[in-house]
Amino acid sequence: MLKHFRVNNFKNFKDDLDIDFSDVNGYKFSQDCITNDLIGKMIIYGKNGSGKTNLSKALCDLKETLTMSNDMKSNHSFISNANSNNEITTFTYTFLFNNKKDKVVYEYQKTDLFNLTNEVLNINGKIIYSYDFNKNRFIEKSEDYFHNSDIFTIYQKNTNPSLPFVRWLVNNGAVEKSSIFNKMYDYAVKITQIFTPTTALIQLSRNELDELDRNVNDLEDFLNYMGIECKLSMEKLPDGSKELYFVFKNRKVAFLENASSGTLSLFNFYIRFLMSNKESSILYFDGFDAFFHFELSEKIIQYIKEKYKDSLVIFTTHNTNLMSNKIMRPDTLFILSISGKLTPLCKATDRELREGHNLGKLYMNGEFDED
């Protein structure tokens, strides 16, 4: 589980931007937003240009860092703040593993999207290693977690100069499957970053059609949950391909040719984001409801809360109808300011927020500090 995240000098965030997922208040309502005493479901509001998309890129950078392929190394993308004299961006992830018995702090620094300058892993207050990529050497190291005392020397001699030590350990089988390193790597692999859905008709690959065939009942349940009453089936065509159909009393009708734009948005949302990400560690939905009616947006949040109980799910939106204690709570609703400060509603006002408050109305009336 992710307990805390911090990024410094990333794109429009010149200074530290922090998210403390353990900063939970004692609200007795909407408790399905809290998982194991940590914030598990949250919504972020912010004006255009405040950095909601950049925040998603920063938080999800762990996946890019630990799973990137070598053929991407030639593509450099600078990530530090353009007004900063400092070219180094620092990412810090604090995890709780093994029923919160192990506190793991993983920090790394980059000059651009793919090149690291430093990497540090701390477990329960002890530095396991600190590596300087510019000098190609370990600054600190501990052999407690490794069977082979030569592991550090082997890594230095046989790796890409910017390959994270965690990734190298996992991919080379240098640590046990139950190790902290594998737990952190698995968490990173399951991070899912999702951008605004589209109403445009999408073309499905053969593999996606096969996967949809296995999940057609789940898609049907999803659409029915959203208020689209329908029965679906996948049919095999004479040429061996497959097609999705609406099933009516007297006939079957091709789904993609006859679905409304709203239904297609939901279909795209399911295919691209939900069907293949059922065990995500983090789901970051950026502008998820751009094409959805406000009642449908509420249903999507409720659906996600029911289906992804153990995942950290973050939504960004401009929809103030979702700023409600019926759906969320003041410690899981955040405002991202133009200055790069992320603040929960309960700390953005001197008012004691209660279940009966209309948070959306208070927000529209300027109750919450957005500096």
Please say whether the beta carbons of 43 and 317 come within 8 A.
yes
Measured CA to CA, the distance from residue 178 to residue 254 in angstroms comes to 47
- What letter does residue 269 receive in the DSSP assignment? H
pLDDT at 71: 41
Q: Estimate to the nearest angstrom the gap between the alpha carbon of 33 and the chain centroid.
A: 15
The number of residues in the chain equals: 371
Q: Directed axis angle between helix 206-225 and helix 294-307, to 10°? A: 110
198-234 confidence digits (pLDDT tens): 555 567 888 889 999 999 999 999 999 999 999 999 9
**Sequence-ordered strand ranges (E) for 11-151:** 13-20, 34-35, 38-39, 41-45, 89-97, 102-110, 116-123, 126-132, 137-141
12-47 confidence digits (pLDDT tens): 998 899 999 999 998 999 999 999 999 999 999 998
| Averaged pLDDT for residues 303-316 | 94
Determine the Cα angle at 113 with ends 111 and 117, to 5°: 35
pTM of the model: 0.91
136-187 confidence digits (pLDDT tens): 999 999 988 887 778 999 998 876 778 999 999 999 888 889 999 999 999 9
Q: What percent of the chain is predicted at pLDDT more than 70?
A: 94
The pair of structure tokens assigned to 32 is 């399905």
Residue matched to tokens 């190609």: 136
Q: What percent of the chain is predicted at pLDDT more than 90?
A: 67
Could you write out the three-class secondary structure of 140-191?
EECCCCCCCCCHHHHHHHHCCCCCCHHHHHHHCCCCCCCCHHHHHHHHHHCE
